[in-house]
Structure 1
Amino acid sequence: MEYTPARQVLSKYFSQEIISKLEEEGVKSLYPTQLLAIKNGVLDGENIVLSAPTASGKTLVAGLAALKHLEEGGKVLYLVPLRALASEKYKEFKKFFGAFGYKTVLSTGDYDSADPALGKYDVIVTTNEKADSLMRHSAPWFPSLTLIVADEIHLLGTEKRGATLEVLLTRILMSEDTPQLLGLSATIGNLEDVARWLHAKPVKVDWRPVVLREGVYYDENIFFADGSTRRIDSLGNSVLSLTYDTLRESGQVLIFSPTRRAAVAEAKKVANISRKFVAEGSKRVLQEASRKLVSLHADKLTHELAELLLRGVAFHHAGLSGDAREIVEDLFRAGHIKAVVATPTLAAGVNLPARRVVITDYRRYNVELGYQESIPVMEYKQMAGRAGRPKFDKEGEAILIARSFEEVEYLFKKYIYAEPENLQSQLGSEPVLRSQLLAVISTDEKIRSMDMLEKFLGRTFFAQRYGTFGILPLARKNLEKLIAGGLIEEKNGVLNPTFLGKRIAELYIDPDTALEGIRLFKEHESLEVLGYLFLVSKTPDMTTIGVRRGDYEYLEEVLEDRGREIPYQVPQDEIEYEFFLSYLKTALLLEDWINEVPEDSIVEKYDVGPGDIYSLTQTAEWISFSLSQIAEILGFHEHSVKLSILSKRIAHGVKEELLELVALKGIGRVRARKLYEHGYRSIYDLAVADEKELLRIPGFGPALVKAIKQQLKSPVESQEEVEGERLEEAEQINLEEYFGV
């Protein structure tokens, strides 16, 4: 297909020098997606909501719009829903904008900072939650933003995170100098509604660089939407048959499985086929990757993955550590592994295209409801959109698997011929709205009266869809609870946050988390460590781990032996009791972590993955820190001190005696324990230690010992230097740095 030369279109907007650099960066022609976006004014400052298939060129639309702003002295904020996607975009933009002399930075996590150092950068890539936190802290550089890109904007409709993006964009829309807004998505059912809310033009593109063929597999045949049929050699298993058919034609396959356990099991089956297609040149790379994984993590799950890599296949889900997931993604992109079996979280995250996408099941077990339900059409479209590798494939295939001939027709009607669901606002949820109300009242001085609050709510996507009739009574009800909790004061129609309320909003926690902590602080002068961990696990901000049938006996024994350490009555209701045990199990996992139980033992004992441990401990650390701050404000000094120490222990996974040692860079929980066991129990001990003696400790080489000594000699850095260094460290290690390939 002939594409329009970029120079022909972009000469209106950029200098010849910039256009020449764009061509050096590979931007020599423009896709229809980019042409239509430009035609609709994306380079003229118009707000745009662009709905276009995966790999059709949406990111370059954002890149060109950002470059236009940067050339005019502007600043760009690029929003994504997930950290993994933020990391991917950061790497891409650092190279792209760096070619023009502009600096890109990645910022995720740490929700209690205005991050003033970010102001030194031209392009800031961050998650929706981090951007919301920055706005709550009145980041000084925020008003200088001239373009905000909201990638994967369809996640506006997701239950847990959609309201954050909605309120963030609403506040931006109500700012005095509203920056240009660019929304990007592959799937929006009600595109016009979203565009109308953002005062933007809706731009819908159906073109793809690789033709997508959607179909259903049944009884050794693929029935395609265009009416054609293809017979597949049967291997006695649908997934194996489709995989073999793909690999023997030099393609790659991405298989979506409904659960983690199913993904691992499916990958093991696929390994018997994929191992035959591993190229000789890939074997050394895969061996190095496998060794790297084993050296990073000792748990069974990672070892299973390491074994499978040698056979050209991998599984991918949130239970894996971040570095393990990144290794899988890089190896697949480079063509070293031929098949990846993933849970659907991958479809909403990083870009990982394949010749054929196979969706093994359109049903998903809903833990909260207790039964299987059909996946949304939007989720199917996200998975199907991964089919087809630009520059490698002429067409991509997305295949659903049917279990009966009747189901073939059902799958076509339900998913292939269907449009994605309309996006729905999540502000109608009472706890969600309560948290957001506290945030806007606490951190936006313009919204301090009922009139202004009603005006704000009237500007939300919820009001765009349903009007304010449904949300105003709910807002008043939530305000009453916030006032009763001492977080907001109302006087003569003016709403003001209390010092406590403002701090809770800044700490980025649910008001109910704070109120639950305050209640316990008032009832108990002090708590045991397990009691604090149970409190943390019970808060609405915390994710808990499920209870298996085999857990009951063990957990009930813990209750019998240590029940006095838990500041809650054991509930009699069967459902509440199961939740109670889930909080206890999560608290016990955290307790094992801070008592330095090895990661692989925790993985085995609690049936979690390294990625789960990372996620749980990150959240628990933040909740503990936040509760310590709240306790200090209210004068509960002992609670504050204990929770502050606990948050540091959770951050590093150590007993209290090691906290001084793990404060050093390069010293984690394992190395700190080795130092302690060899008699180095403080910073002073290390400062006066002989380097030759330190080198005798297993795992302490010359470079590490030198780095430790250098830290102890260095003068205290300025806050700005520390912040800048932290931002630079945000860049993820890529495959080349791992293996030198």
Structure 2
Amino acid sequence: MYAPVRRGCSKLKLPEHVREYLDRKGIWELFPPQREAVEKGLFDDENLLIAAPTASGKTLLAEMRALHELIESHGETRVVYVVPFRALAREKYEELTNVIEFCREKGLEPTIEISTGDVRRPIRELRPGITVTTAEKLDASLRSRPSLVEEVDLLVLDEVHIVGDRNRGATYEALIALVRTFREKVSLLALSATVGNAEELADWLDATPVISDWRPVKLEHRIVEVPSASEKDAKVRKLIRKCLREGGQALVFLYSRRRAMTEAKNLSRTVSGLLSEDEKKELRTLAERVSELGEGEETEILAYAVMRGVAFHHAGLTAEQRALVEDAFREGLLKVVVSTPTLAAGVNLPARYVIIKDFGMRLGNEIKPTKNEFKQMAGRAGRPGYDDMGLVFVLTTSNWKELAEEYVHSEADPVQSRIWVSGPQLRRFLLGLVAAGFCRQIADVMRVALNTFMSSVNIRPEDAVLSSLKMLVDWGFLEELEGELTATKVGHAVSQSYLTPDSAKFLLRCMEEVGTEENVVLPSITLCPDFQPAPISSKSRELSTLDAFMGGSPSIEADEVLELAVEEFGYDDWELERRLAWAEALSDWVSGSPDRSILRKYDLYPGDLYRAKDDAAWIAWGMSRLARAAGITWRSPLLSRRLEYGVPKEALELTEVEGVGRTLAMRLYRAGYHSVRDLAEATVPELTRVRGIGEQLARKILESARRLTGT
């Protein structure tokens, strides 16, 4: 929708197949940073770093490079397109599909695949064509199949500035260092936002830099001083009305999920009166779809707002709901999206107006937004092909006005490496190098370490590497003899499970010293650092100790799990209470309690619950592998699958049937269907008596059940 019309450039030297591809997309002129990239070797097998603002055409450069290499190799090149976020993977997959379709029209047979999420299911092979994946998924896959690194021909690193992110940066940087060390012939195309040290990033990647501040739509910042925070609401409403009457769309950024919901609901009353009857009809259909994709108060508020042309967007929504909001905004159906800053970092969603309502907030020890967060949010202003100018409105009180001026007129901050201060992620990286067979000596590990970004800016890695390797030896995950490194049996299990060694050490202690029964495993999972708990209400819990939580079983020293967590990680009372509340919520989940009941009881967002159960299922699976490697009897064999599907063990078998998810499995179980064979012996009229099953779904269930039972 936002692709601009470009005309009048035919002198640039482009391969004929690339020119034909651009012609089909209606592109007759490249943007300045795109032209510079071509001139600096985009089609000459050169490593390039493109550092440019949002909407300056970086993704098109990746399409052109991938297309050229696929055509030149007769469809045999293997392109790996790495993104930092799953939502971005979906977006890039859809865009890169055009490249594959073009190649197939030329008689070639490359494929395109998307592989994100569950690290329990690693990438087994890289087929000729394009694989879109996340850094975590590719990193985890290399532990199970290290030879994958030899299959990477072109590595596209999207949002490569993410190496400076405190959460994901270490893994992204480690992956790049690994591939560059063990796949010397790999070609690199790195795409970055405008950062303060793009030249340093390029030097690290042995890449030619293409650095530009050019934007297809001019950006204008307007700092709006308001007397007090309470005055901001009226100002936002006024700006929204003006934007929509001009035919534009708006993004409003806030730092609170709850306030984003409230803001969207309030703004929907302003926007609804500016919609046409046709738009209202389409929005009613969209709202119905939103309601089908989730439960709870948040879904009800989202559907209410969507029906009136507004949505909120944050990580608490389900992935399907977020995708629906993003697509409807791109299509112009939704007029306003109120979001937390995560949208600015992860999804390409431009708007005519960007309104930064929360400027100068104190969150913990930080002032929000940070300068780079501000640049990311502001960069969403201006829709190429639709707007002559993107407007950024910064709403601030007088005491924060000077900082706002500084942000507007200063350059982005430089990217800083996180890898040597990342602790658990660094140890996971080093253990993986040895366990997967990439490194057999300390000198080999150092060779990889010297390929990290931090090392390239003259910060030596030796002390951090040696101290982390010593920890891994002390914990029993590695053995070292005169510089030779080998992974122990347990170390291999830790590496292939993709748990951090720090979490694995704690989980092993819990299993060895307390037990592996489900009522021990669940709190062990939520108390380990690899489980990253979203906000949750613990008010429903009247349990002051883990012993009470676990039912006071006389055979288990329940408080010992709690003591181990405090000993290992130094949790305070608030953190312990939060993590134990999650253990109880997950206990309700595997017992088959309805989603709506769990969401209400713990004041949760659907997206948070579903991510938590996915993480818990992965950690439980990892624990089972650790137990097997350590010779510990694992007494929770079904827990990982029950966490995945959210059903008690009695109903788990029903989820094997196609079309039967969590809710339907519980309804079928309560209706007397306790096994796949029970379903196979049913009839269509009998199944349609179960709420939620129509004739078409009944036939699908019967066909699947009979296939599974061979009847």
Gap change, CA 1:180 and 1:342, over 3 Å in 2: same
The match for 2:94 among 91, 94, 107 is: 91
Structure 2 counterpart of 1:380, from 360, 370, 374: 374
d(CA) in 2 for partners of 1:336, 1:382: 24
The structure-2 alpha-carbon separation of the partners of 1:26 and 1:10, relative to structure 1 and needing over 3 Å to count, comes to: farther
- Taking the aligned partners of 1:486 and 1:440, their CA distance within structure 2 comes to 16
Q: Which residue of 2 aligns with 1:227?
A: none
Cα contact 1:570–1:577 (8 A) shared by 2: no
Which of 230, 252, 256 is 2:253 aligned to? 256
Inter-CA distance 148–396: structure 2 relative to 1 (3 Å threshold): same
The range that moved more, 181-190 or 21-30, is 21-30
> C-alpha deviations, 1:28-59, integer Å up to 9, x for none?
32111210111111211111111111111100
Q: CA offset at residue 238 of structure 1?
A: 2.3
Confirm whether residue 554 of structure 1 aligns to residue 557 of structure 2: no
1:386 is aligned with what amino acid? R
Corresponding residue for residue 40 of structure 2: 40
Return the TM-score normalized by structure 1.
0.88
Cα distance in 2, alignment partners of residues 84 and 418 from structure 1? 30
Q: Which is further off, 329-338 or 686-695?
A: 686-695
Contact 2:252 2:339 in 1 (8 A): yes
One-letter amino acid of the structure 1 residue matched with residue 676 of structure 2: I
CA drift at 1:286: 0.7
After TM superposition, the structure 1 stretch with the greater mean CA deviation from structure 2, 354-363 or 557-566, is 557-566
* Alignment partner of 1:657 out of 640, 650, 661: 650
**What residue number does 2:103 align with?**
100
Contact 2:146 2:437 in 1 (8 A): no
- Name the CA distance, whole Å, in 2 between partners of 1:454 and 1:298: 50
Asked whether the 8 Å contact 1:312–1:337 carries over to 2, the reply is yes
1:396-426 CA-to-partner distances (Å, cap 9, x unmatched) read: 011211212x53333111x101111111111
Q: Secondary structure at the match of 1:474?
A: helix
1:479-506 CA-to-partner distances (Å, cap 9, x unmatched) read 1221122111112220111122122111
Pair 400,463 (structure 1): closer, same or farther in 2 beyond 3 Å:
same
Q: Does structure 1 residue 482 correspond to structure 2 residue 472?
A: yes
Map of 2:201 onto structure 1: 194
**How many Å separate the matches in 2 of 1:533 and 1:312?**
42
Whether 2:238 is the aligned partner of 1:241: answer yes
Deviation, 1:662, is 0.6
Higher alpha-carbon deviation: 300-309 or 324-333: 324-333
1:534 paired with 2:534, answer no
The amino acid that maps onto 1:47 is N
Q: Give the structure 2 partner of residue 678 of structure 1.
A: 671
SS in 2 for 1:462: helix
C-alpha change, 1:698 and 1:14, in structure 2 (3 Å) is same
Query: How many Å separate the matches in 1 of 2:152 and 2:384?
Result: 33
Contact 1:215/1:416, CA 8 A, preserved across alignment: no
SS of match in other structure, 1:315? strand
Give 2:611's aligned amino acid: S
**Residues in 2 aligned to 1:23 and 1:87: alpha-carbon distance in whole angstroms:** 25
- The letter for the 2-side match of 1:51 is A
Q: By how many angstroms is 1:567 displaced?
A: 4.7
Structure 1 residue 403 and structure 2 residue 397: aligned? yes
For residues 208 and 236 of structure 1, the distance between their equivalents in structure 2, rounded to whole angstroms, comes to: 30
* Equivalent residue number for residue 505 of structure 2: 515
Residues in 2 aligned to 1:494 and 1:343: alpha-carbon distance in whole angstroms = 48
What is aligned with 2:280? Answer: 283
Given residue 131 of structure 1, which amino acid in structure 2 is its aligned partner? Answer: L
Contact map agreement 2:126 2:148 (CA 8 A) in 1: yes
Aligned to 1:732: none
Q: Which residue of 2 aligns with 1:339?
A: 336
Task: Quote how far apart the aligned CAs of 1:711 are.
Answer: 2.3
Shift of 1:507: 1.3
In the alignment, structure 1 residue 75 sits paired with structure 2 residue 78: yes
- What is the correspondence of 1:489-504 to structure 2 with a 5 Å cutoff? 489-504=479-494
The answer to whether the 8 Å contact 2:166/2:418 transfers is yes
Letter in 1 for 2:377: M
How far is the alpha carbon of 1:7 from its aligned partner?
5.2
How far apart in 1 are the matches of 2:656 and 2:703? 14
Letter in 1 for 2:166: E
Aligned to 2:61: 61
C-alpha deviation, 1:598, in angstroms = 1.4
Specify whether residues 457 and 411 from structure 1 end up closer, same or farther in structure 2 by C-alpha distance, changes over 3 A only: same
SS in 2 for 1:237: helix
Cα distance in 1 for residues equivalent to 2:699 and 2:402 = 67
Query: How many residues end up aligned between the 2 structures?
Result: 687
Q: 1:14 aligned to 2:2?
A: no
- How far did 1:96 drift? 3.6
The corresponding residue for 1:223 is none
* Contact 1:113/1:137 (8 A) holds in 2: no
- Residue of 413, 428, 447 corresponding to 1:435: 428
Residues 188 and 142 (structure 1), Cα distance of their counterparts in 2 relative to 1, 3 Å cut: same
Change (3 A) 1:489 1:343: same
What whole-Å deviation, never above 9, does each CA across 1:431-482 have from its counterpart, x for those lacking one? 232121111121133x2112222222122111112331xx312222221221
Q: Distance in 2 between matches of 1:323 and 1:652?
A: 17
- Relative to structure 1, the CA distance from residue 553 to residue 624 in structure 2 (aligned partners, 3 Å threshold; closer, same or farther) is closer
Post-superposition offset of 1:562: 4.1
* Aligned equivalent of 1:564: 552
Question: Is there any run of 5+ residues in structure 2 with no aligned partner, and where?
Answer: 105-109
CA contact (8 A) 2:547 2:559 kept: no
Specify the alignment match of 2:107 in structure 1. none
Distance (Å, rounded) in 1 between the aligned partners of 2:158 and 2:661 = 35
Structure 1 SS opposite 2:507? helix
CA contact (8 A) 2:51 2:193 kept: yes
CA distance in 1, matches of 2:68, 2:666: 52
Provide closer, same or farther for how the CA distance between residues 517 and 551 of structure 1 changes in structure 2, counting only shifts above 3 A. Answer: same
Q: Using the alignment, how far apart are the partners of 2:5 and 2:522 within structure 1?
A: 61
Instruction: Provide closer, same or farther for how the CA distance between residues 304 and 452 of structure 1 changes in structure 2, counting only shifts above 3 A.
Output: same
- CA RMSD, 1 decimal: 2.4
Q: Between 454-463 and 131-140, report the one with greater CA deviation.
A: 131-140
- 1:551 Cα deviation (Å)? 2.3
Question: Where does residue 728 of structure 1 map in the other structure?
Answer: none
Check the 8 A contact 1:150/1:182 in 2, yes or no: yes
| Counterpart position of 1:609 | 605
In 1, Cα distance between the equivalents of 2:121 and 2:562? 38
| Residues 6 and 27 in structure 2, CA contact (< 8 A), matched pair in contact too | no
User: Post-superposition shift, 1:704?
Assistant: 1.8
The one-letter code matched in structure 2 to 1:451 is A
Residue identity opposite 2:331 in structure 1? A
Tell me which residue corresponds to 1:394: 388
Deviation at 1:682, TM superposition (A): 0.9
